Chains A and B, each alone.
Chain A
Amino acid sequence: MRYNEKELQALSRQPAEMAAELGMRGPKKGSVAKRRLVKLVVNFLFYFRPDEAEPLGALLLERCRVAQEEPGGFSISFVEDLSRKYHFECCSQEQCQEWMEALRRASYEYMRRSLIFYRDEIRKMTGKDPLEQFGLSEEARFQLSSLPRDGQACIGSQLDVLD
C-alpha cells in the first residue's frame, strides 16, 4: 500500500501525548524485547531506536485492543488478528496503567464516539445541539446513526473499551 511516508515521519517529530523508553517485542514468535523510544502522536504509536531521529516504525491505533499482560506490561493487537500482539514492558505498573489509558483514548473512533456522547448528553440537558454553534450539526460523521452496529453502539456504555 502506498502512503505519504514523509508526512508520517514529520508527524513522528511533533510533540507527543506520551513518550517513554519501553521494552518492545514484535508479534513474531521468538522475537526478543528491545529498548525502544515509544511515542504517541495523535492516533499513531511511533517507535524509535533510543538514539535515532527517524522512527523504525509506526502503528495506526484504530480498531486495536490494549490489554494488560504481566504486571507492568501491556500489549496492543488489532481486531483482524487479536493473537498477533505487540508487547510493551514498562518500568512500573503505574506507568503501564498510564500508557494503557492513553492508548485506549488515542483512536479517531474513540474521539468520535466521545463527541457523539457529549453532544447527546448536552442536548438532553439543554435541549440544544452544542454542535450548531460550530456549524457541525449536519456532519454525517457525528450522527448517532454513524456508530458501528456492534455492541459498542449503545451510548454511554463503556466508551473507553475499543472493539
Chain B
Amino acid sequence: MKLNERSLAFYATCDAPVDNAGFLHKRGARGAGSHRRWFVLRGNMLFYFESEASREPLGVILLEGCTVELVDAREEFAFAVRFASGRSRPYVLAADSQAALEGWVKALSRASFHYLRLVVHELEQQLAAMRERSPANALPTSPSPVSNLRPKENGRAAWSVLPEKPTAAPQRPPLPPRRRASAPNGPLASFAQLHERYGLEVQALRSQWRGGQAGLAGLEVWHPSSSGGTHTQDQP
C-alpha cells in the first residue's frame, strides 16, 4: 500500500505538539535482542528514531485500534502494544523507569482518534446545551462541529454517538445547532462508561504498581474485546 511517507516524516519532526517522547527499548523483528530508540507520540502515530537527533524516523506504529498491556518479559518496565486485527505479534517495548512506563501506558491507551473524537463530541454537546440555556452569552466563532459529520459508509461511523441528521448548511452558524442523539442513554452514557473503564483501569494499575509487584503478567490496561462493551475500537 502506498503511503504519503514524506508527509508522514514531516509530521513526525515538525513543531506540532508532541504527546509523549522518550527512549524505549524495542524488541527486534525476530525477537532477538532489542534496540534503544527515541520514540515520539503524535496523535495516533508512534514514531521511532535511531536517536533523539535523527531527522527522519526509522518507522511508525499506527495506534488506532490497539490495546496496551503490561507484560511479564525479560526486560524490566515492559509493555506490549497489541492489535486484535492485522498482525498477530505485538510490539514489546520497555521503558527505563516505573514512572516512564506509567506515562507511556497511559498516553498510548488514550492516543486513538476515536477516543479523542468522543471527548470532543462530549464537550461540544455540553457547550451547545449551555448556550441554549443562556443565549445572552457572547458567541465567538466556533469550529465546525465535529458531530455534524454525516456517516456514509455502512450507515454509521465506528462510534455510534453521531447524531442522525446533519446540519443543513455548510456555513457555521453563530449558535451551534443543538443535536442530541435520539437514544436517551446515548453519547453521555457511552462516554461515561468508557471513561469509567479507563479510570478504573488506571486506578487498579496504580495500586498494583505502588504495591511494587515485579511480575505483572497478563495484567491488561484495556482490552475492549474482552469487556463485552458495545463501543469498541478494534473491530475490523
CA separation between A126 and B126, bound complex, in Å? 11
Determine the residue in chain B with the shortest Cβ distance to A46: B1
Contact across chains for A105 and B62 when beta carbons are under 8 A apart: no
* 0 or 1 for each of A112-155: is its CB under 8 Å from B? (1 = yes): 11110111011001100011011110011100001111100000
B100 sits at the interface (CB 8 A): no
CA separation between A147 and B232, bound complex, in Å? 29
Determine the residue in chain A with the shortest Cβ distance to B195: A134
* 0 or 1 for each of B68-103: is its CB under 8 Å from A? (1 = yes): 000000000000000101110000000000000000
Residues of B with C-beta under 8 A to A146: 17
Contact across chains for A16 and B157 when beta carbons are under 8 A apart: yes
CA separation between A56 and B3, bound complex, in Å? 9
Contact across chains for B86 and A7 when beta carbons are under 8 A apart: yes
B204 sits at the interface (CB 8 A): no
* 0 or 1 for each of A43-63: is its CB under 8 Å from B? (1 = yes): 100000000001111111011
> Which of B59, B120, B141, B202 is within 8 Å of A115, CB to CB?
B120
Contact across chains for A118 and B124 when beta carbons are under 8 A apart: yes
> Which of B56, B143, B152 is within 8 Å of A114, CB to CB?
B143
Contact across chains for A119 and B59 when beta carbons are under 8 A apart: no
Determine the residue in chain A with the shortest Cβ distance to B13: A80
Contact across chains for B4 and A78 when beta carbons are under 8 A apart: yes
Determine the residue in chain B with the shortest Cβ distance to A107: B43
Residues of B with C-beta under 8 A to A105: 143-144, 146, 149
CA separation between A157 and B17, bound complex, in Å? 18
A2 sits at the interface (CB 8 A): yes
Residues of B with C-beta under 8 A to A59: 3-4, 7
Contact across chains for A108 and B154 when beta carbons are under 8 A apart: no
